[in-house]
Amino acid sequence: FYVRSIPDCFFIASANSVTNDVIPSIKEKLEKVNSLNADELRLLLKQVLAKGKLSDRGGAGLGIIEMARRTGRKISYDFVPIDSKTSLFFIQLTIQNPENKGIEQSELSLEHMKNLYAMMRAENLIVLHKGDFSENSVLPIIHMIEKNILRHNDQRVGKQKLYNISVEMLQNISMHAEKSNKANQGLFVLKQQDGHSSIGTCNFISKQGEQHLGKHLSKLSTLTKDELNELYRDKLRLLIDEKVVGTGIGLIYIFRKTESVDYCFSDSNGNRLFSIFVDI
């Protein structure tokens, strides 16, 4: 699943495998819908609804018709062979400012999505999100990890650890990212390979935030697991008994539960960038 925004355009796309024998039928439906204007799409929708059911062999599907009607644009799609029996089916909707008379962006973005998918497959990336990490924006990402990623992990303990660390890493962006246009901009990636998981995040940070966070991380890096456990218990006691907030307990948890933690502060176009990568 893919969502992308650029000036005056918003793209929603997905990719899934299909058997090669259904490709002609899918193409026929999409080409039919793409050939119709708004009035013709409205009429076709009424005809499909009147049938009471959707036929795989006749006419376009209701969902495809609705997508074309609501966006007012042609649906972009492509099929990429996987093997002799299956192909990867890419489909994309484009929502564009009607006043924008610039170049057509749909095909460009579809190619971007295909290239991004290939890169993620090659790098074993399961989730990649770049954008706003404000509290309300983080919740859908957490839900996606919980429902669609962790269900493939049969080990309950490992599943819970991966979930908890993902949440802490996401909250770390929300807490430390320097706001840009009232949003906490950042990047989150989740990688799974050979039964192991890795999580990485990066975000812009203020100089004051860098000094405070850097000092905290430097201290945690010197502690043993036993010392981290003791520090975690102390901070948890402050949080529960004395309602003390801002104890940095999330980062302590990350250091306790991961195999390794790598982090750095770097320059990016005159801004300070904080990156952290953990192996679970």
Could you tell me which CATH number the domain at 125-279 has?
3.30.565.10
| Overall average pLDDT of the 93-111 stretch | 68
User: Is-contact 141 132, C-beta < 8 A?
Assistant: no
| Residue 243 predicted with pLDDT over 80 | no
Q: Answer yes or no: are the C-beta atoms of 54 and 62 closer than 8 Å.
A: yes
Q: Using an 8 Å Cβ cutoff, are 170 and 142 in contact?
A: yes
Rounded percentage of the chain residues whose pLDDT exceeds 70: 86
Average pLDDT over residues 109-120: 90
- Residue 259 pLDDT exceeds 80: yes
* Contact of 77 with 98, CB cutoff 8 Å: no
| pLDDT score at 54 | 46
Query: pLDDT digit string (tens) for 123-169?
Result: 999 889 998 888 777 888 888 787 766 665 555 557 888 889 999 99
- Predicted model pTM: 0.81
DSSP-assigned states of every residue in 147-211: IIIGGG---HHHHHHHHHHHHHHHHHHHHHPPEETTEEEEEEEEEEETTEEEEEEEEEE-HHHHH
Distance, first Cα to last Cα, the chain: 25
Range 206-215 contact pairs with CB under 8 angstroms and sequence separation of 24 or more: 206/178, 206/272, 207/272, 209/176, 209/178, 209/274, 210/265, 210/272, 210/274, 213/176, 213/274, 214/265
Mean pLDDT of 73-102: 85
Please report, for the chain, the start and end positions of each structural domain, with discontinuous segments joined by +: 2-106, 125-279
Most confidently modeled of 25-29, 47-51, 241-245? 25-29
**Could you tell me if residue 34 is left (phi over 0), alpha (psi between -120 and 50 degrees) or otherwise beta?**
alpha
Three-class SS state of 70: helix
| Cα angle: 150, vertex 153, 158; to 5 degrees | 90
Q: 127 forms bridges with which residues in the sheet?
A: 190
pLDDT of residue 38: 87
